[in-house]
Amino acid sequence: MTESTIVEETPRLDRRADGRLVAGVCRGIADHLGLEVVIVRLAFSLLIIAGGVGCAAYIALWVLVPRRDEPAQRDWTQFAAYGALILGLSFLTWASGLAKAALWPLVVGGLGVAVLWQQADRNQRQRWLRTTTVPLRRMWLRSLLGAFLVIGGIGGFVAQRVNAAEAREVLIATAVILSGVAVIATPWLMRLWQDLDVERRERIRSQERAELAAHVHDSVLHTLTLIQRSAHDSREVQRLARSQERELRSWLYAPRADPDQTLAAAVQKIVGEVEDDHGVPIEVVCVGDCPLTATLGAMLQAAREAMVNAAKYAEAPSVSVYAEVSGDDVAIYVRDRGKGFDLDSIPEDRMGVRGSIIGRMERNGGTATVRTAPGEGTEVRLELKRR
Amino acid sequence: MTRVVLVDDHQMFRTGVKAELGPGIEVVGEAGDVDSAIDVIKSAAPDVVLLDVHLPGGGGIEVLRRLHGSVTPKFLALSVSDAAEDVIGVVRGGARGYVTKTISGPELTDAIGRVADDDAVFSPRLAGFVLDAFAATDAPSIDPELDQLTQREREVLRLIARGYAYKEIARELFISVKTVETHVSSVLRKLQLSNRHELSRWAAARRLV
């Protein structure tokens, strides 16, 4: 769908030279109202037969409506067809003596039906559903025209058969019947309309999902290609595979958790980033959840430091992160089975464990405990009370 | 020799597992969907069945359901997915443990051995799910013994979730490894039998979180 078809404007009423039979009047009207040109031509043909009104109308429009472009070739076969139709039906009505009055209402009614039917044409509806600015004016114009024609036809037909007094009775009876039909049909119509709405939304939603799926598939293909290319570098392969696994897994199984709003999602996000940056697999388990606050943000920073330390210095095959929220207590544990270190041997003036982890937690009202020994792995425990 | 049947719809994975399993484990059968799994299990009568959660024909849960009651082997659930509803569903169906497919060969061998000895196998993720599912709430419980975890069980689960092995847990809590295993088995039993109304809806509700 290109942009230009999204916003549809009503073409002005003018006569077009291409596709015209005589003077392009029917074509122009068809474009303006959005009807099929055949219907308009049939209308004029029948109006010509029924008392020559069509002739007058046609000539009037020919004179008054401006022409849009240069004359082109006429389609003589169509012209011949319509001409034959006009002559044939005229002869028929004249020969059989059919009262023009009887034919007229039926013709008008039939035209109205054709116009209204086109309203319901599936292609038309598809177009309307796709555009963002529904051409309401045209739709109402067409509906009114169709309804007017049908009512005119019915009215004319009825008017011939009854006199004025009875006509009123007939009209009242008709109105009552129509109201009854409306009352009966309305709930069913409403339900149809709602079903249509629901289906449309489902369709949009599944379209979005399909787009997202396509993106994920592309990612996976991309990763597999990169893996083949880096097959010699096993660390790189592991990093690529792990990162893609996380992305695919979160698309398949994870709910729409917002990493800026809740703790569990934020922890997962940090774990993903540290994994990608340092190439060490990190297992994460989250129990419970709570909204993020500024102090929790500081705690997450401390946790990130701990993870990065574990990934960079521990020389461990993997790192375990456990985040738990129970009531007001929030705890994050970062553990590895690496080579550990001697806590006392870190000089006071260096940042790192002291400053960014322990110090940060204490500044925010929490505690940080580091349990480690050379050869025994490391566990950093961060605890905070939410209130 | 522990006799094992592999049930998984990815043939490549089955081949990989066969190659990685250590000595002391004999693979006596394989199957790729629910119906053939039932047939193979009935004819081969293994000690342990490695059961994938996602299988054509109704999934691992269907296999558990159909074999329920008859003399059954012990089931160790295995999956790529670590979605809560899959895990909890299959454990409540009768599996004695759950491991993800990223597990290494030696760890898998160890897990199969533990299941064969009638112990439960809990991955850190499963421990996390169980802690979540049994989180203390105000809802009245039908059977307090079944519907709640004891303090000790919670501690054990928490240590498993933190990545501790049973030996390390025993050292941490100053209890024996056997005691740790008992606690874990008790948690498994509660998970399988608890009728806490939230538990069954918990997995579905997680999807909305």
Contact B127, B153 (CB under 8 A): no
Residue pair A286/A323 in contact (Cβ under 8 Å)? The answer is: yes
- Predicted pLDDT at B125: 84
Contact B124, B184 (CB under 8 A): no
> What residues in chain B have their Cβ under 8 A from chain A's Cβ atoms?
81-83, 124-125, 127-128, 131-132, 135-136, 158, 161-164, 206-209
Nearest CB partner across the interface for A322, out of B135, B136, B161 = B161
DSSP letter string, A84-127: HHHHHHHHHHHHHT--HHHHHHHHHHHHHHHHHHHHT-HHHHHH
Per-residue confidence (pLDDT) for residue A381, from 0 to 100: 92
> B121-209: same fold as B1-118?
no
- pLDDT value at residue A8: 42
| Rounded Cα gap, residues B80 and B102, in angstroms | 8
Identify the band that residue B148 occupies on the pLDDT scale cut at 50, 70 and 90: confident
> Which residues in B6-20 are b (16+ Cβ under 10 Å) and which e?
bbbbeeeebeebeee
Scanning A230-262, the segments in alpha helix (DSSP H) are 234-253
Angle made by CA atoms B6, B12, B13, in degrees to the nearest 5: 45
Domain boundaries defined on chain B: 1-118, 121-209
DSSP 8-state assignment for residue A67: B
Residue B144: pLDDT band (50, 70, 90) is low
Residue A121's pLDDT is 63
Which residues of A have a CB under 8 Å from any CB of B? 249, 252-253, 255, 257, 283, 285-289, 320, 322, 324, 326, 333, 335, 379
Q: pLDDT at position A210, please?
A: 86
Q: Which helix (H) or strand (E) holds A79?
A: helix A76-96
Q: To the nearest whole percent, how much of chain B has pLDDT over 70?
A: 86
pTM listed for this prediction: 0.61
Domain B1-118 has CATH 3.40.50.2300: yes
Does residue A46 contact residue A153 with C-beta atoms inside 8 Å?
A: no
Cα dihedral sign for A151, A154, A155, A156? positive
Residues of chain A below pLDDT 50: 1-10, 132-133
- Does residue B138 register a pLDDT over 80? no
H/E stretch holding B100 reads: strand B97-100
Q: If DSSP codes are grouped into helix, strand and coil, which group holds residue B41?
A: helix
Residue B188: Cβ-neighbour burial (10 angstroms; 0-12, 13-18, 19+): buried
Report pLDDT digits (tens) over B105-121: 888 898 898 889 888 88
Q: Give Cβ neighbours of residue A334 (< 8 Å, ≥ 6 apart).
A: A303, A306, A307, A310, A319, A320, A321, A379, A380, A382
Element (H, E) at B37: helix B34-44
Beta-strand ranges (E) seen in chain A are 282-287, 319-326, 329-336, 367-372, 378-385
Task: Say if the Cβ atoms of A326 and B135 lie within 8 Å.
Answer: yes
Using CA atoms, how far apart are residues A305 and A298, in angstroms rounded to an integer? 11
**Cβ atoms of residues A368 and A304 within 8 Å:** no
Query: B64 CB contacts (<8 Å, ≥6 apart)?
Result: B51, B75, B90, B93, B94, B95
- Token duo for residue B175: 């209890």
Q: Is B134 left (phi over 0), alpha (psi -120 to 50) or beta?
A: alpha
Edge-to-edge strands, sheet with B48-52: B25-31, B2-7, B48-52, B74-79, B97-100, B121-122
* Mutation site, B54, B207, B209, interface A, largest A CB count within 10 A: B209
Work out the percent of chain B whose per-residue pLDDT is above 90: 22
Banded pLDDT at B140 (limits 50, 70, 90): low
B205 to chain A: which residues are within 8 Å by CB? none
Query: Which tens digit of pLDDT belongs to each residue from B40-79?
Result: 999 988 999 999 888 888 888 888 888 887 767 899 998 8
Residues 6+ apart with CB under 8 A from A98: A92
pLDDT for res A257: 67
Report the topology of domain B121-209.
Arc Repressor Mutant, subunit A (1.10.10)
Closest chain B residue by Cα to residue A282: B163
**Residue in A245, A261, A285, A376 to test binding to B, most B beta-carbons within 10 Å:** A285
